[in-house]
A and B are shown apart, each in its own frame.
Chain A
Amino acid sequence: MEKTTSTPKGGLLGQSRTRREFLGTSAKVGGGIAAILATGQAPAYAQERELRMLVWSHFVPASDEELERQFKEFGKQAGVSVRMDRVAHLQLPAVLAGEVQGQKGHDIVNVSNSNPHLYSDHLEDISDIYGEIGADGGGWTAETMGKGRKGEQAALPWYFISFPLVFRKDLIAEIGEKVPDTWEDVHRVGMKLKAKGHPLGIQLAHSADANWINRGILWSHGAKLVAEDSRTVAVNTPETVEAFKFVRALYKDCMEQEVLAWDDRNNNVCMISGKCSMILNPISAYRAAVRENALIPGTQNLIAEQIEHVIPPKGPAGRHMCASFVGVGIWKFAKEKELAKEFLKYHFQKDNQNRLLVASKGYNQPVLAQFADHPLYSSDPKYAFATEIGKYTHSLGWPGVPTAAAQTVYDQYLLPDTLAECATDRLSPEDAVAKLEKQMKRVYKRLNRKY
C-alpha cells in the first residue's frame, strides 16, 4: 500500500527526459532494479517513473498472466516500474468514463470495438507505430479497427473474439441430423432438440453475446443497422423485419424464456451443464468445460469431448457474424506516452504476440496476417473453424466503420431489447424495427454532428 501512496506523480525527473537518456542511467542501476523487481518490494525512490496499463479481466486468466509477464519484462528493460490493473469487462465502461471525465488515470488502456472512435478526442494518434507494426507483421487483417474520427489511428487492433456455433455432436447425432450450416438448419435442429429437453441458447438480454450474435443473424438475412457511409440509419427494411421474425421463431420454437435474463456466462453454463444443445460463443465455453471436468448429467462422460465448434451459420444473404475487436490505445493525458508506445512496439513483436496467443489458448484471434494460420489452430480439430472464421467476422457498424454512434447503440443494447420485445410478442416485428430505428436515429443525430 505504502508504495502506491508515496509514488510521486509524473516522476521526479519530469517529462523532459527521453527514454534513451533514461535507459542510459538505468543501465547503471539495472542490477539493483532487477533485484527489486525480483522481490516485488520496490522502495519509493526507485519508482521515478511508472507505466500503467488498464485491461479487462481476460476471459482466459493465463492470458493476463502472460501479458503481465511481458509488461514486467519491458519495465525491467526500460528501468521503470510498471503496473497492470484489471477490471471486469462489464465495469470497464465506468472506469474508462471516469478516467476521461477526470483526464487522469492509466497510460495504456484497453479500448475495444468502436471505443477508439468514441474516445477519439482523448486518445493519442498512434498511426506511426500502427504502420511499423503492420509492416513487420505482414499487414493488418482488421482494417477498420481502431480508427479515430479524423481517420487517425486512435488504437491498435489487438485481437478479435469470434463467435462460432458451439454444439453437442452426440445430441445432434442422436436425432440423426447433420451439423447445421444455415440458420434454417439451426431452427429445424433446434426445434427437434428442444423437444428432447436440449434447447438452443442465444441471449436476448443485456449481454455482449446478444449484441454480437443477433447482429450476425440480421446481417446474414440481408439487414443492416447502418448504411455504408456509417452515418445513415438504414435499419427499417423488409429484410430486417424478416430477420426479426426469424429470431422470434427461434425464440419460440428452440429456446426457453431464460434467454431473456442471460448474461455472457449463462450460455456457457447451459452448455456445460448438459442442458443446451447449441450456443454461439467463443471457445471459452469449451475451455470452461475442460477446466471444470464437467460431466454429461447422469453419466461419467466428460462433456467437453462432445462439444464441437463450426463456423457460424449462413442465411439468405450469406454468412456474416459480428464479433468483438479488442484494441489497445494510449490516452492523450497519459504521463508516459513515449514509454507506452515503446511498450506496444515491444508487445507486438512476433515472439511476444505468439506467446500471448498461445497463453490465451487461441481465444485471442490474431489481427496480424503473419499469425492467420497459427499452428495452434491446426493442433486441435476443435479449433478448425478459427482460421476460416475471420472472413465472415465484421466489427460493429458494418458495412460502415465502427463509430461512436455504433458503439453507443451497442452499449444501449437497442438491438437485443427490441428483438426481445418482438420475440415475446410485446411488439410486432414491424413495430419493433420501427422502434429500433427511432432510437438509433436519436443516437446518430446526437453523435453525427461531431464528425
Chain B
Amino acid sequence: MEAVERTRHDLIRPPARPVLRVLRKMAGPDIDGYGFIMPAAFIMIALVVYPFCLAVYFSLSDAFIGEESQFIGIENFEYIITEDDIFLITIRNTLLFAFFSVVFKIVLGMAAALLLLKALRLKKFLRGSLLIPFVAPTALTTLGWWLIFDPTYSHINWILENVWPFYALGIGPYHWLGDPDLALYTCIFVNIWRGLPFFIITILAGLVSIPEHLYEAADIDGATAWDKFWKIAVPLLRPILAIIILFSTIFTLADFNIVFVLTRGGPINSTHLFATYSYVTGISNHEIGLGAAISLFLFPILVMIVIGLLRLVRRDTSYEL
C-alpha cells in the first residue's frame, strides 16, 4: 500500500486551447467538469429541487389535500413540537431504533466477520448466504417477516409453545407486533436482519486489509488474542466503523418499508418513524402541510451529519500502514 494518492491539483491535464485558459482562471482548471455533472444536476433540479421547494412551502402552509392552502408560517412546527405527542414518540423511536440497530449490527457484524475471516472453506456459500438479506427486496422479504410475526400464525410463538425447552420454561406467547412495548423492538430486529450483511462484509474487508506483520509483531511481544483484537484490530477499523455507523443511521432515519409493512406505525402509534409518520399524516390524514413539517424537521440535522460524513469520505482515510 505504498502509493500515495495525489491530490487533485496534481493531475496532468490534456493540452488546452488559449480561449480555455481564461475560463479556467475563472472557474477552475477542469471546466469540462461542468459537462460531467450536468446530467446529474439536471435530474436533481428537475425532479428533486423543485418538488423539494414545494415540500418546504407545504410545511409552512396549512396544505390539505383537495383544498386551497394558505401560508401560516411555522405553525405546523409549533404544533408538532408542543402538542403532538405522537411526534415526540416518533423522535424517541427514531433514537431507540438508530441506537439499538447500530449497536447490534456492530457487535454481531464484528463477530461474524471474525468468524468468516477464519472460515476458508465454503467461503463463497457462507458469504453469499449472509449477504442475501441485504440484496433481497425489502418490501417482499418484510412480508415474510410479517407472516412470521403474525398475531395468529406467529412461527416464533409456535416454537415457544411446542419446542423443548421453551414450553417447559413457559415463556411466551408474545404479541410481537401487538404489544406497544415490544413492537418497536420487533421492527428493530427486522432492521438488524436486513442491515447486518453490510456491516459484516465491510468489517470483514477492513479486517482482511490489516497487515499480517502487525499481528506477528504483537505475537513476538507476547500479546493475547484479546489484546490483538482491542489494540490492533479495533483502532485500525475505527474509520470504517465511523462511516458505516453514519450510513446505517441515515438509512434508519429514512426507513419506511419495514415499519410500514409490519405495523403501519401501530399499535397505538408506538412504532412510527419519521418517514412513516409523515406519510400517514400527509397522505392518509390529508394534512400535507403537517406531514411536510414532520419529514423536514430532521432535515437540517441530517444535512449536518452528511456534510460531516462527506468530509470523512473525501478525506483520505489511509488507515493502511
A257 to B178, CA, bound (A): 6
Q: Does B266 contact A (CB under 8 A)?
A: yes
- Tell me if A343 counts as interface (CB < 8 A to partner B): no
Contacts of B66 in A (CB 8 A): 97, 100, 118-119, 121-122
A206 close to B266 (CB less than 8 A): yes
Q: For residues 248 through 304 of chain B, which have their beta carbon under 8 Å from a beta carbon of chain A?
A: 263-269, 283-286
Q: How far is the CA of A337 from the CA of B264 in the complex (A)?
A: 36
Within the complex, the shortest CB–CB distance from A280 to chain B, in Å, comes to 17
> Which residue of B150, B152, B177, B179 is within 8 Å of A275 (Cβ)?
B152
Nearest-neighbor residue (CB-CB) of B279 within chain A: A94
Q: How far is the CA of A442 from the CA of B264 in the complex (A)?
A: 23
What does the 1/0 interface line of A58-98 toward B look like (CB < 8 Å)?
A: 00000000000000000000000000000000000110010
List CB contacts (< 8 Å) of A417-437 with chain B: 417, 420-421, 424, 426
The answer to the question of A384 belonging to the interface, with a C-beta cut-off of 8 Å to chain B, is no
- The main secondary structure of chain B at its interface with chain A is loop
B residues less than 8 Å from A420 (CB atoms): 267-268
Main secondary structure of the interface of A (DSSP, over half): helix
Q: Does A253 contact B (CB under 8 A)?
A: no
Q: Could you tell me if B268 and A260 are in contact, using CB atoms closer than 8 angstroms?
A: yes
> Does chain B have a CB within 8 A of A371?
no
Interface flag for A273 (CB, 8 Å): yes
Judge if B64 is at the interface, Cβ distance under 8 Å.
yes
Q: What separation, in Å, do the CA atoms of A262 and B151 have in the docked complex?
A: 8
Find chain B residues with CB under 8 A from A259 CB. Answer: 178
B149: nearest residue on chain A (CB-CB)? Answer: A261
Contacts of B286 in A (CB 8 A): 93, 97, 118, 408, 411
Counting chain A CB atoms within 10 Å of each CB, which of B64, B66, B150 scores highest? B66
Task: Give the CA-CA distance A263 to B263 in the complex, in Å.
Answer: 9
The answer to the question of B183 belonging to the interface, with a C-beta cut-off of 8 Å to chain A, is yes
A205: nearest residue on chain B (CB-CB)?
A: B266
When the two chains form the complex, which single residue of B175, B269, B285 contacts A257, counting CB atoms closer than 8 Å? B175
User: 1/0 contact trace for B171-187 toward A, CB 8 Å?
Assistant: 00001011110010000
How far apart sit A232 and B243, CA to CA, in the bound complex (Å)?
54
A412 at the interface (CB under 8 A from B): yes
- B62 and A261 within 8 A (CB): no
Q: Bound complex: CA of A205 vs CA of B183, how far in Å? A: 13
Max chain A CB contacts within 10 Å: which of B151, B177, B180?
Answer: B151
Q: A201–B64 Cα gap in the complex (Å)?
A: 35
Interface assignment of A305: CB less than 8 Å from any CB of chain B: no
Residue-by-residue, is B50-93 near A (CB-CB < 8 Å gives 1, otherwise 0)? Answer: 00000000000010111100000000000000000000000000
**CB-CB contacts of A237-276 with B at 8 A, as 1s and 0s?**
0000000000000000000111111110010011001010
Q: Which of B152, B183, B284 interacts with A273 by CB under 8 Å?
A: B152
- Verify B151–A446 contact, CB threshold 8 A: no
Query: In the complex, what's the smallest C-beta–C-beta distance from B305 to chain A, in angstroms?
Result: 29
B64 touches A446 (CB 8 A): yes
A261 contact from B64, B65, B67, B263, Cβ within 8 A: B263
State which of A118, A205, A273, A408 has its C-beta within 8 Å of the C-beta of B267: A205
CB distance from B172 to the nearest CB of A (A): 12
Query: Which residues from A are CB-within-8-Å of B284?
Result: 93-94, 411-412
Is A450 located at the chain interface by the 8 A CB criterion? yes
Residue of A nearest to B265 (CB): A206
A97 touches B268 (CB 8 A): no
Is A101 interfacial (CB-CB < 8 Å)?
Answer: yes
A206 to chain B, nearest CB (A): 5
Please tell me if the beta carbons of A258 and B65 are within 8 angstroms of each other in the complex: no
Nearest B-chain residue to A95, judged by Cβ: B283
B283 (CB) vs chain A CBs: closest residue: A94
CA of A420 to CA of B179 in the docked complex: distance in angstroms?
11
Instruction: Decide if A417 touches B151 in the complex (CB within 8 Å).
Output: no
Chain B residues in 8 Å Cβ range of A93: 283-284, 286
Q: A100-B65, A262-B178 are in contact. List 8 more A-B contacts (CB 8 A).
A: A94-B283, A100-B66, A258-B177, A261-B151, A261-B266, A269-B152, A408-B285, A424-B268
Q: What residues make up the interface of B, taking CB atoms closer than 8 Å to A?
A: 62, 64-67, 150-153, 175, 177-180, 183, 263-269, 283-286
A interface, CB within 8 angstroms of B:
93-94, 97, 100-101, 118-119, 121-122, 204-206, 256-263, 266, 269-270, 273, 275, 408, 411-412, 417, 420-421, 424, 426, 446-447, 450
Q: Please, could you name 20 A-B residue pairs with CB atoms under 8 Å apart, sorted by A?
A: A97-B286, A118-B66, A205-B267, A257-B179, A258-B152, A260-B268, A261-B263, A261-B266, A262-B178, A269-B150, A270-B152, A273-B153, A408-B285, A411-B286, A412-B284, A417-B268, A421-B268, A424-B268, A447-B64, A450-B67
